[in-house]
Amino acid sequence: MIKIGLFLVFLLFVPTIVKGECTCDSEDEEHNKSEALKYKIVAIASIMVAGAIGVGLPVLGKVIPSLEPEKDIFFVIKAFAAGVILSTAFIHVLPDAFESLTSPCLNEDPWGKFPFTGFVAMVSAIGTLMIDCFATSYYSNRRKKEVSADGNGDGDEEKSMEVHGDVHTHATHGHSHSVVDSNPSQLLRHRVIAQVLELGIVAHSLIIGISLGASQSSKTIKPLIVALTFHQFFEGMGLGGCICQTKFKTKAMVIMGLFFSLTTPLGIAIGIGISEGYNENSPTALIVEGIFDAASAGILIYMSLVDLLAADFMHPKVQANGKLQFGVNIFLLLGAACMSILAKWA
C-alpha cells in the first residue's frame, strides 16, 4: 500500500518536473563570456576558410583539366555535393524548423493548430520552381530576340553570347572558339540554378551563424565549430560545382564564392552584437528562425533533387557509362551519410 502511495505521489510530481524543465526564458547556465568570445572568433576564421576552400575546389577545373565540368570526376564530385545539400535540408534545416515552429513557447493558436513548417517548405519549393522556370524562360526569350535582331550572323551570335554569358571567345585562323556550352539555353539554366541555390544556402547560413554568435556557452560553441566547418566545406563544394558550370567571368565567380564564404561569419558577428539581449526562446526569434529554416529547406530539397541530381543522373554521359552511374550513386550516398553524421553535433 505504501509503495502504491509513493508511486501515485511520483505520478503527480512528474508533470510538474517536466513543466519545470521546459522554460521559455534564457538558460541560467553559468557562462564565461570572454572564453565564449574567443571561440566565436575562432569559428569565424575556421568557417570562412573552410567555406572558401569548399566553394573554390570545383572552380579549379579552369586550371586542372581533370576537374572540367564534362569530365567523369566532376559528375562524381557533384553527386557527393548534392548528397550533402539534400542531407543538409532533411537532417539539419527541416528538423530545426519543426523544433522552432512547434515550440511550447509559441501560442497554441495558430502555431499549434497548423503544420506551418511543412507548409512554408512546400510553398518555398513551389516558388523555387516558378522562379527557375520564369527566369530561364525570360533570359532565353530575350537572347533569342537579340540574336534575331542582330541578323543571326556568326559574329553577332558570338557577340550575343558574350553579352549574356560574360564569356570570352578568340579567333584563330578565321575560326571562332568559344568556352560556352554547345546549348546556350543550358548555360542559362546553370546560371539560374547557381543563383537560386546560393539564395537557399545563404538564408540558412545566416541563421546558424546568428545562433552560434548569440550563444554564451563555450560548451555549446566548441563542437559547433568543428561541425559547421565541415558543414560549410561540403556545402561550398555543392555550390562551387554549380558556379563553375555558369561560365561566368572569374570576377563574378569570386564574388559569388565570397558571398557564400562570408555569410555565416557575418551571422556570427551579428549574433555577437545582439547576444546581450537575444533570447533564442522568444516567440519572435523562434518564428523568424523557423520560417527562414523551413523556406531554406524547401529551396535546398528542390534544387538538390531537381536541378542537381535529376539533371546529372539523367545526363547521356552518365546513362551510357555503367561505372560512372555506379560511382555517382555511391558518392551520393556517401555525401548524404557524411552530412547526416554531423547532425550529432550540429
**pLDDT tens, N- to C-terminus, the chain (346 residues):** 444 444 433 333 333 333 334 456 554 444 577 888 888 999 999 999 998 888 887 777 666 666 666 678 878 888 888 888 888 889 888 888 898 899 888 888 888 889 999 999 999 999 888 887 887 787 777 777 777 776 654 444 444 444 444 444 333 343 333 333 446 667 777 788 888 888 888 877 888 888 888 877 777 788 778 878 887 887 787 788 788 777 778 788 888 888 889 999 998 999 888 877 777 778 888 888 888 888 888 888 988 888 788 888 888 888 899 999 999 999 999 989 988 887 777 6
Closest CA to 89 of 50, 55, 49, 120: 120
Distance CA 206, CA 246 (A): 24
pLDDT, position 119: 94
CA distances from 269 to 213, 215, 241, 265, 319 (A): 6, 12, 28, 6, 46
Distance CA 241, CA 59 (A): 7
pLDDT, position 266: 92
pLDDT, position 334: 92
Q: What is the DSSP letter of 308?
A: I
CA distances from 329 to 116, 238, 326, 332, 336 (A): 33, 16, 5, 5, 11
Distance CA 291, CA 297 (A): 10
Helices (H), 150-183: 154-165
Opening angle at CA 27, ends 25 and 30, nearest 5: 145
pLDDT, position 61: 60
Closest CA to 42 of 236, 234, 218: 218
pLDDT, position 66: 60
- What are the cell numbers at 266? 557575418
Q: Kindly give, in sequence order, each residue whose CB lies less than 8 Å from that of residue 271, ignoring residues fewer than 6 positions away.
A: 40, 209, 210, 211, 212, 213, 214, 215, 278
The phi-psi region of residue 107 (left if phi > 0; otherwise alpha if psi is between -120 and 50; otherwise beta) is beta
- What are the cell numbers at 310? 535529376
